[in-house]
Structure 1
Amino acid sequence: MVTGHLQDIMRYAGLGDRLAQAMEYLQQTDFTAMTPGKYDVDGDNIFAIVNEFTTKPYDACEPETHRKYIDIQFMVSGKERFGWAPLLEQKPLMPYSDEQDLLLYQPENLNFLNLSAGMFIIFYPTDIHMPEICVNEPELVKKVVMKIQASAG
């Protein structure tokens, strides 16, 4: 897991060519007027999902991991709390969904970070993460989730 402000994201470009390409896309794109949906960057290798949603109480959220994709989650507007823990010996609550690239877990032993507009967080397949948690009370947020195929990072 890596987190910071968008103005500093290129410090992490050395983490991989696909990650660097996704980071450049984040820096060069104005997401404020973009409508929610999926945006192609490099086919299945890199794409962006623009989301608008209302954050939820902790007990309405679920920790998750992905096997195929690394996430860069970038806050366009609003505030969101994220739970995080390293994936070690935790047992998933369900079988892996290849179609959704998703495993869900119990919300145990998580650490929490609050992100506001202009901030990003990177989650690898070895990171359990619990997004969409409200900071103080539910609020409307706009967020971009960059999906980067993990096989060549």
Structure 2
Amino acid sequence: MIVDNIKNIDFYLKINDGIAHGLKYIKDNDLTKLDVGKYEIDGEHLYLMIQNYKTKPINEGKWEAHRRYVDIQYIMQGKETVGYANVNKLRPFNEYDKTKDIVFLKGSGDFFTISEGYFAIFAPEDAHMPCIAYKEPQFVKKAVIKVLIH
């Protein structure tokens, strides 16, 4: 997992070509002007989802992980708490959904706060619990870029 400010994005462009493409897309486009929805960048290899939601209490959160995609989550407005744990330290809550590339998990992990102008990169081994309220529930606008790796 990586968490950093968008101003430092150039530092991460050599990690992987797909991740670099996703990060450049964030850097080169004003995503704040996009409406909620899904946008293709490079077919199933790279796509963008714009989300707008109200954060929720931690007891309503769910651990999730993906096998085929890396998530690049960029906060455009608001602030949220996010959980992080290695998938090997958690237990599956349900069967892996290959169509949606998601498995929900049980267990515990660490938490951090991410705010406007920051991004997080979650690899397949990085279970995460997004959308958790920081102190009080608030509205968040987020861009999630999905990068196909498998």
TM-score category (smaller protein): over 0.9
* 1:137 is the counterpart of 2:136: yes
- Map 1:19-38 → 2, pairs under 5 A: 19-38=19-38
Match of 2:81 in 1: 81
* 1:51 is the counterpart of 2:51: yes
What per-residue deviation string (whole Å, max 9, x for no partner) do you get for residues 11-70 of structure 1? Answer: 111111111010000001112221000111111000010000000000111000001100
TM-score (norm 2): 0.97
Separation (CA, whole Å) in 1 of partners of 2:63 and 2:89? 14
**Partner letter of residue 11 of structure 1?**
F
Match of 2:111 in 1: 112
Gaps of 5+ in 2: none
Secondary structure of residue in 2 paired with 1:105 = strand
Match of 1:96 in 2: 96
Q: Are the aligned partners of 2:64 and 2:129 in contact in 1 as well (CA < 8 Å)? A: yes
Kindly indicate which of the two structures has a greater share of residues assigned to strand: 2
How many residues are paired up? 150
Q: Are the aligned partners of 1:63 and 1:130 in contact in 2 as well (CA < 8 Å)? A: yes
Match of 2:121 in 1: 122
Over the aligned positions, Cα root-mean-square deviation in angstroms equals 0.9
Match of 2:147 in 1: 148
Match of 1:69 in 2: 69
Task: State the identity %.
Answer: 33
What per-residue deviation string (whole Å, max 9, x for no partner) do you get for residues 83-111 of structure 1? Answer: 00112153201111011111111141x11
